[in-house]
Structure 1
Amino acid sequence: MRLFYSSIFFYLLSISFVFAQRNAVQGKILDQEQKPIPGVSVIVEGTVRGVQSDQNGAFVIKDLPVGSYALKTSMIGFKTQSLSFSIGKDAVKNLDFVLVEDDIWLESFELMASRGMNGQGRLPEVEDFRINAGRKNEVIHLGEIDANLAMNNSRQIFGRTPGITIWENDGSGIQLGVASRGLSPNRSWEFNVRMNGYDITPDPMGYPEAYFTPPMEVVENIEIIRGASSLQYGPQFGGLLNFVLRKPDPSTRFTAETINTVGSNGLFSTFNYIGGTEGKWDYTAYYQKRRGNGWRDNGFFNTDHAHLEVNYAVSNRLKIGTEMTYMTTESQQPGGLTDAQFAADPSQSIRSRNWFSTPWFIPSLNADYIVSPKTKLNLKAFGSIAERNSVGFTSAITQEDDLGNRQVDRDLYHTFGTELRLSTAYSLFGKEHNLVAGYRFYKGNIDRNQKGVGNAGTDMNFDLVESSYPRDLDFDNVNHAAFVENMFNVTDKLLLTAGLRLENISSNMKGILNTVNGVPQLLTPEQRTRNFALLGFGGEYHLTKTTELYTNFSQAYRPVLISDLTPPATTDVIDANLKDARGYNFDLGYRGNIGDFLNFDASFFYLNYADRIGTITQTAADGTRFQFRTNLGTSVSQGVEAFVEFDPITAFVGNSSIGYIHLFSSLAFVNAEYQDFERTSITNGEIVVSNLAGNRVENAPRKINRYGATYRFKDFSMTWQLSDIGEAFSDATNSVEPNAAATSGLVPAYSVQDLSAGYTLKKKYSLKTGVNNLTDEAYFTRRAGGYPGPGIMPADGRTFYLTFGVKF
């Protein structure tokens, strides 16, 4: 493995020192006071070639073929400029720009310049190969927030994003569990989880659990588009969650950075990055190692991440690139607790032999082709070769570990997908409109092996004592999809969107469901083919230059997953007649900024989820209680989501020589309830009929509020944040009293505080520190029915971290 990382480093280092090509255009970008402007985008119009100005305002674009071109600059806060030029053989053309401030964007530019209100933004109406207009969306700029990025602390990262529920049972930061609007946070599976626009889950239509999460130190932005993303990205109810990694630095041939963190419980993390642009080539690579003992007893994690990206401009119109991402994990799972154990000591653990590992390899290819100045194509091909491995004693937490043979479960994932997208702008009735269309093919295979008999050891070992797995399932999923969406600029203030997505899903499941006394019990082969269409429309009305009303309606769909059809290694029972769920999302909101001191987004949402798949607590004839997974009828989630950030010093004083204070609130009221579902149970030997109508949806707190304050002075910043989350139920029956195994019962409300600070010196050196769970609150967000529980999964108590970084 070390040889692999070393080879990547020296290969990329050699690229960065390729000698200069002969033809080039170069220059400087200055403001009206003749001061250099860094970070300005410089694009050769109608081509794939472009760079950014460096810290001195300088830029150079090498290896341009002989011809005539136009060079365009763009940066928020300044008017776009374009200069025409011609270049001959072996020529170097010098072009300098003097940029003029743009009144239309001046408020946004000043807002950014005040250095504090840029942590939460929004997507442009049209960008690259997608239409974002009319959608509820957020962009989290990780470089602008104070947070424990080394540990992927999701509570801080999503602090400004209203309505996000978080399962905080994985303090290692290996996996992310988030959701919104009454949906399940289980490994973020109600979202379409992507990285740089392509899938990173085992199978979005068959098993969308996000076992892989990139290190937040290399993530530049997190893009969230709520349910209205279904037309362009797939039918998931939750919408899109896309991690945008830091791209190759377009302003220099070579840059390097190292970020190192130490903290509580033996935490050590090192993140190392290189990247740059040279002529037609650009490249980036990172390596991160993170390890620690965890906050709870019997907790340990050791992770390695590596990523490589190389792009090449084949011609002025065609650019191709490749990415490769690799992750290995070694994680000891402390297991669940009963309510009594949690009350006594939430950091304790009575499971010492449970281990988890997810080796993950994700290769991808990307190609951009410019057909004309207004029409372009993008092709992505991607796949994964990955595993999900666990070993341990997984019986109910009330059963003592007998220190005998452990259970081994292993999933193998092999997937391949490709997406072709077209984006074009055209004129009609004197207005320019935008159209985006695409086709997607995806094929996934999941080889699920469970209930294997492992050894009686204590280490991470997935070897079998017996030769085969009692459960051996094979799941194949093939997905074809096509979509088209158009944005109509009706007037200068009003725009409308409309689109259609066609889906074809073919699923095949076969194998051995169980083995009894050495006799395999074959699963009746199940084949399902679905064809359906999704419709959507939306709109925006610009009340002012910086504020707008928006609305959208979009249908959604969730096929039965392999995890729905196979129970975890506990007492869950699966309904043999499970069917797919379908429904729709609706949003109506108002957003924008007022001056350079107030940023806001407030909206009403309505989510209809028919034939929702979930679990209810049932009582068997012998009086024992068990979890039953079935279609629970229709649930409706409705409520309000609001975000506001206010800078009182800028509002009342203006420019400040002592820094700025920014106050933010992220508020959500979520009323997620079941509409109608009749159920029967046995009480004292008698059949009792009841109905879920009016019951709250599990894992859906009604109150999701987060508050914070950030103080910034020059290169120093400090942020305090309070998360105030309401109570939730762990099952659809809304059981308040916990069962003995602690898999059902109330999840109490909680409040937790975080404090982080950072300082940057000469834009090269950075020092960050913080305390998570400042007051050492004891709380939990999840009752697990299976692995990594079962039982209560406590959140981490108070932890500290210290980070030092250097850029070269």
Structure 2
Amino acid sequence: MNTALLNYLKAKASVIFLFSFIIQFPLSAQTLRHQIYGQVTGENDVSLSSVTVQLDTQTITTDKNGFFAFDQIQNGSHLIKLSREGYLPQQMTITTNGTELSRLNFQLKATARQLTEVIVKGYKAINGMGYLNDVHNGVIYAGKKTEVILLDSLDANTAQNNPRQVLGRIPGANYSETEGGGFPSNGIGFRGLNPTQSVETNTRQNGYNVVADIYGYPEAYYLPPLEAVESIEVTRGASSLQFGPQFGGVINYITKQGVKDKPLEINVQETGGSFGLFNAFTSAGGTIGKFNYYGFIQYKNIQGWRPNSEVQQVSGFAGVNYQANAKLKVGLEYSILRNRIHMPGGFDDMQFNFDSRASYRARNWLRSPWNIFAATAEYKFTDHTTLYVKSSVLLSARDLVWRNEDGGPGELDSISPITNNYVNREVQRERFTNWTTEVRLLHTYQLFKQENILAAGIRVFTGKMKRQGGGEGTTGSDFDLTLLDPRYEYDLDFTTLNIAPFLENMFKLNDRFSITPGIRYEYINSSAKGYVTDGNDVLRSDRSKNRYIALFGVGLQYKTTTTTNIYGNISQAYRPVTYDQLTPFATTAVIDPNMKDADGYNADLGWRGSVKNYLNFDISSFLLQYNNRIGIIQKTDAQGNDYAFRTNVANSVHRGLETYLELNISRIFFPGMGFGRISIFNSFSFVDARYTTGEFKDKYVEYAPRTINRAGITYAYKPFSTTFLISNTAKSYGDATNTLNSPDPAVGLIPAYRVLDWSGKLTLYRYNFKFGVNNLADKRYFTIRTNEYPGPGIIPAIGRSFYFGIGAKF
């Protein structure tokens, strides 16, 4: 990224905010306002778009997910009316008092059915997490374990995408916190699966893939800034039938949309903090006629907790939706990321224990430019049949120049007294081009006097990846990808073609019980062409392989009350070994050329729901069978030297319990009191993940802490709210041997750790102030040992840091 451009964007964001703050700040005290929002659904909890919602004299329509929102509502009594062709109208009166959010959920009934009463559910939002409706955006979720996080309801450090404060509410979420290594894309894993770069999790934005290659290179480099995210949807392992065969489920970041009731609204947020953090975020959106648009630009600069760990990043997004008529809605989106990351390297155990803030590498750099184009369409043939289409094109890259990893972090990167220069660095470059289209058809039909739902579709993916590595770089310390020898040690071209039809049907046996069987068929063709240098030999490759995989599953759901249900599911999962995984790449590990594909299944059984407006809960157990699991084991060569070996370690079984409880104490014990709102939550998981075959039988799976427990308390009074969070993560291991200490820093114990976070928010009219402390007790810990970048070795998490942000909406 050009330095002048970064400075210009930084200065421009500051000027925009300062100007807007001066001209918009009221000269006199303003009356505190209220916000009302909610969702409208039809029968079977199908989200209803284009519903006319009238609040007094204001009129808006619901978005594609059935959501609506009214801002800056004066306190008092208000009449809300809802109407849509083909449905019975509804209305209700609500009285607002104070600045607390109110959420109103409506369920409209079709006019073809004569009803004696109208069901209206209205309640104030409980801060935290819920779950998806039975049907949502063309996908059946009945019987599946899902979570939805509404970001505006949280006190969280969204400027730094702090995973504990946002995703920490999801039971069992484990993170690879790599920001201390200069690498800001923290990974996530569930149920004892590898969290590194979210390789086991299908990562999406607005329903389409954002990773480089869903099979060949499923790492997540681009994520939307959390300041631009409205909600985060997580579906566990049973997602394999609707989204792909991955073991770890799906995480989907839903970006905000333009406001519905005016042509333009601008939001500005600037955040500063420890270690040179400066984050400038500006968004604009609105509705003009049939067009709704939203866009943002973010500039972030971090000097880093450790030396040589600065990050400069610019990300942006532009999206527009056109509601052509009552049947057709189309949209276009573009996402962009430009960054430059300085990586301070990894530690061995002695180096970490001596000084976890040191850096023994000053010449390691990375950039990952990302471009994503997406087109969407939604066509309603009838009130019972809707077609959804999402098509995306991804153009991205990963460029790396670093001190050769040979010798690991213990090998000093110093100037040679003989040459008076550093050793030459290594240059590696990857290029990714892929195209994905998913078509879904949702159809509701009558069977035995019950409404059943059919969800069918197909995904077509084609991807190309060019991998070049081992090139001889310069002896300098700056970001320089210059090659001194034009020939790389390896130069490979990979292609992937995937065609996957899928089908699920929700059969309602009665008003309470449903069963949803499903099938997915995967065709995968992968190829590899190019060469790899092995010593003095050049090995050429020209291979191709076809796979044909059928996956089956079934989900069950029983509604115990109108707001609670028991759910269960079982579905098969699959993870192919692609040729690029067989190619040594930026790693100190030796690769087994005979690795096999992994397969297995996921199963859940749980009870979830809410009790009135003060309790939200989800209690479940799970079982994950993972055959031919790929991992790292420690071996010894003929000379007696230890080395890491990546191979099919063995089969593993992951069993566990996940619970989420959120309780609004003030609504239970002090209803109607005016001293504020107090709520507490607890997110807990127990995972027993062990190998069940081979030489490591009964050993713990790597990166699988047995317990992860997070507890928080939130206090809110009118425009002020604050949250205190305690996160406890048990120990885990870096390899399948469960080695405690090793000369290889990629192998060994990952000790248990406890982290404290505190955050707060104050909203005054159209202005907000956000503040907090991450890692309050300055705990020195790490979550990952890696045999590749940003290491190799131990990557420490950052210590105590402060932040303060100020924002305005106009």
Listed one character per residue, the Cα deviations across residues 45-66 of structure 1 (whole Å, up to 9, x for unaligned) are: 999973776987512679xxxx
Aligned to 2:496: 477
Figure out how many residues of one structure are paired with residues of the other and give that number.
741
Q: Which residue of 289, 293, 297 corresponds with 1:283?
A: 293
Change (3 A) 1:636 1:73: closer
Change (3 A) 1:55 1:303: farther
Change (3 A) 1:48 1:156: closer
Structure 1, unaligned runs of 5 or more: 10-34, 63-71, 86-94, 678-690
SS in 2 for 1:229: helix
Aligned to 1:346: 356
> CA contact under 8 A between 2:54 and 2:80: conserved in structure 1?
no
Aligned to 1:401: 413
AA of the residue aligned to 1:674? Y
> CA contact under 8 A between 1:248 and 1:283: conserved in structure 2?
yes
Name whichever of 560-569 and 344-353 sits farther off.
560-569
Provide the rounded CA distance (Å) in 2 between the counterparts of 1:182 and 1:437.
31
Aligned-residue offset at 1:592: 1.1
Aligned to 2:25: none
Provide the rounded CA distance (Å) in 2 between the counterparts of 1:151 and 1:727.
25
Provide the rounded CA distance (Å) in 2 between the counterparts of 1:193 and 1:786.
22
Provide the rounded CA distance (Å) in 2 between the counterparts of 1:416 and 1:779.
40
Q: Which residue of 726, 733, 750 corresponds with 1:729?
A: 733
Listed one character per residue, the Cα deviations across residues 546-590 of structure 1 (whole Å, up to 9, x for unaligned) are: 221110001000011355212233431111111110000000001
AA of the residue aligned to 1:782? I
Aligned-residue offset at 1:320: 1.6
Aligned-residue offset at 1:246: 0.6
Superposition RMSD in Å? 2.9
SS in 2 for 1:700: coil
Change (3 A) 1:40 1:621: closer
Aligned-residue offset at 1:73: 10
AA of the residue aligned to 2:204? R
> CA contact under 8 A between 1:398 and 1:740: conserved in structure 2?
no
Provide the rounded CA distance (Å) in 2 between the counterparts of 1:36 and 1:335.
49
Q: State the percentage of identical aligned residues.
A: 40
> CA contact under 8 A between 2:147 and 2:235: conserved in structure 1?
yes
Change (3 A) 1:658 1:173: farther
SS in 2 for 1:775: coil
Aligned to 1:688: none
Provide the rounded CA distance (Å) in 2 between the counterparts of 1:593 and 1:369.
33
Aligned to 1:538: 555
Aligned to 1:21: none
Aligned to 2:798: 796
Q: Does 1:99 align with 2:92?
A: yes
Q: Which residue of 693, 697, 704 corresponds with 1:693?
A: 697
Q: Which residue of 754, 776, 779 corresponds with 2:778?
A: 776
Provide the rounded CA distance (Å) in 1 between the counterparts of 2:662 and 2:234.
18
Q: Does 1:316 align with 2:326?
A: yes
> CA contact under 8 A between 2:710 and 2:725: conserved in structure 1?
yes
Provide the rounded CA distance (Å) in 1 between the counterparts of 2:570 and 2:502.
16
Q: Show the 5 A alignment for 1:544-583.
A: 544-583=561-600
Q: Which residue of 96, 110, 125 corresponds with 2:123?
A: 110
Aligned to 1:234: 244
Aligned to 1:67: none
Q: Which residue of 120, 124, 136 corresponds with 2:133?
A: 124
Aligned-residue offset at 1:109: 3.5
Aligned-residue offset at 1:82: 3.1
Provide the rounded CA distance (Å) in 2 between the counterparts of 1:73 and 1:355.
43
SS in 2 for 1:668: strand
Aligned-residue offset at 1:170: 1.9
Change (3 A) 1:164 1:326: same
Aligned-residue offset at 1:486: 0.8
> CA contact under 8 A between 1:174 and 1:212: conserved in structure 2?
no
Name whichever of 203-212 and 264-273 sits farther off.
203-212
Name whichever of 455-464 and 559-568 sits farther off.
559-568
AA of the residue aligned to 2:538? P
Aligned to 1:168: 177
Provide the rounded CA distance (Å) in 2 between the counterparts of 1:80 and 1:641.
40
Q: Which residue of 428, 432, 448 corresponds with 1:429?
A: 448
Change (3 A) 1:537 1:755: same
Aligned to 2:314: 304
Aligned to 2:59: 59
Provide the rounded CA distance (Å) in 1 between the counterparts of 2:548 and 2:455.
22
AA of the residue aligned to 2:163? S
Name whichever of 210-219 and 165-174 sits farther off.
165-174
> CA contact under 8 A between 1:43 and 1:51: conserved in structure 2?
no
Q: Does 1:603 align with 2:620?
A: yes
Listed one character per residue, the Cα deviations across residues 31-80 of structure 1 (whole Å, up to 9, x for unaligned) are: xxxx9985467999999973776987512679xxxxxxxxx998999998
Aligned-residue offset at 1:714: 1.3
SS in 2 for 1:397: helix
> CA contact under 8 A between 1:37 and 1:56: conserved in structure 2?
no
Provide the rounded CA distance (Å) in 1 between the counterparts of 2:504 and 2:386.
15
- TM-score, normalized by length of structure 2? 0.87
Aligned to 1:25: none
AA of the residue aligned to 2:740? V
> CA contact under 8 A between 1:38 and 1:54: conserved in structure 2?
no
Provide the rounded CA distance (Å) in 2 between the counterparts of 1:262 and 1:223.
29
> CA contact under 8 A between 1:320 and 1:365: conserved in structure 2?
yes
Name whichever of 172-181 and 447-456 sits farther off.
172-181
Aligned to 1:740: 743
SS in 2 for 1:232: helix
> CA contact under 8 A between 2:258 and 2:265: conserved in structure 1?
no
AA of the residue aligned to 1:99? M
> CA contact under 8 A between 1:346 and 1:794: conserved in structure 2?
yes
> CA contact under 8 A between 2:527 and 2:579: conserved in structure 1?
no
Aligned to 1:141: 150
Provide the rounded CA distance (Å) in 2 between the counterparts of 1:61 and 1:216.
25
> CA contact under 8 A between 2:40 and 2:48: conserved in structure 1?
no
Q: Which residue of 153, 157, 170 corresponds with 2:166?
A: 157
AA of the residue aligned to 1:412? R
> CA contact under 8 A between 2:52 and 2:82: conserved in structure 1?
no
> CA contact under 8 A between 2:81 and 2:89: conserved in structure 1?
no
Change (3 A) 1:281 1:83: closer
Aligned-residue offset at 1:741: 3.6
Aligned-residue offset at 1:338: 1.5
> CA contact under 8 A between 1:48 and 1:318: conserved in structure 2?
no
Name whichever of 746-755 and 314-323 sits farther off.
314-323
Aligned to 1:50: 50
Change (3 A) 1:348 1:84: closer
Provide the rounded CA distance (Å) in 1 between the counterparts of 2:93 and 2:245.
44
- TM-score, normalized by length of structure 1? 0.87
Q: Show the 5 A alignment for 1:27-46.
A: 38-39=36-37
> CA contact under 8 A between 1:398 and 1:741: conserved in structure 2?
no
Provide the rounded CA distance (Å) in 2 between the counterparts of 1:126 and 1:469.
50
Aligned to 1:461: 480
SS in 1 for 2:279: strand
Change (3 A) 1:698 1:373: same
Provide the rounded CA distance (Å) in 1 between the counterparts of 2:566 and 2:60.
41
Provide the rounded CA distance (Å) in 2 between the counterparts of 1:337 and 1:757.
34
Provide the rounded CA distance (Å) in 2 between the counterparts of 1:169 and 1:534.
34
Aligned-residue offset at 1:314: 3.1
Q: Show the 5 A alignment for 1:213-224.
A: 213-224=223-234
Provide the rounded CA distance (Å) in 2 between the counterparts of 1:712 and 1:721.
15
Aligned-residue offset at 1:465: 1.4
Structure 2, unaligned runs of 5 or more: 13-32, 71-77, 95-103, 108-118, 415-421
> CA contact under 8 A between 2:346 and 2:792: conserved in structure 1?
yes
Aligned-residue offset at 1:104: 9.3
Aligned to 1:449: 468
> CA contact under 8 A between 2:41 and 2:106: conserved in structure 1?
no
Provide the rounded CA distance (Å) in 2 between the counterparts of 1:421 and 1:592.
28
SS in 1 for 2:168: coil
Provide the rounded CA distance (Å) in 2 between the counterparts of 1:785 and 1:224.
29
Provide the rounded CA distance (Å) in 1 between the counterparts of 2:121 and 2:701.
40
SS in 1 for 2:706: coil
Listed one character per residue, the Cα deviations across residues 381-423 of structure 1 (whole Å, up to 9, x for unaligned) are: 1011100111111321111114221111111000011111101
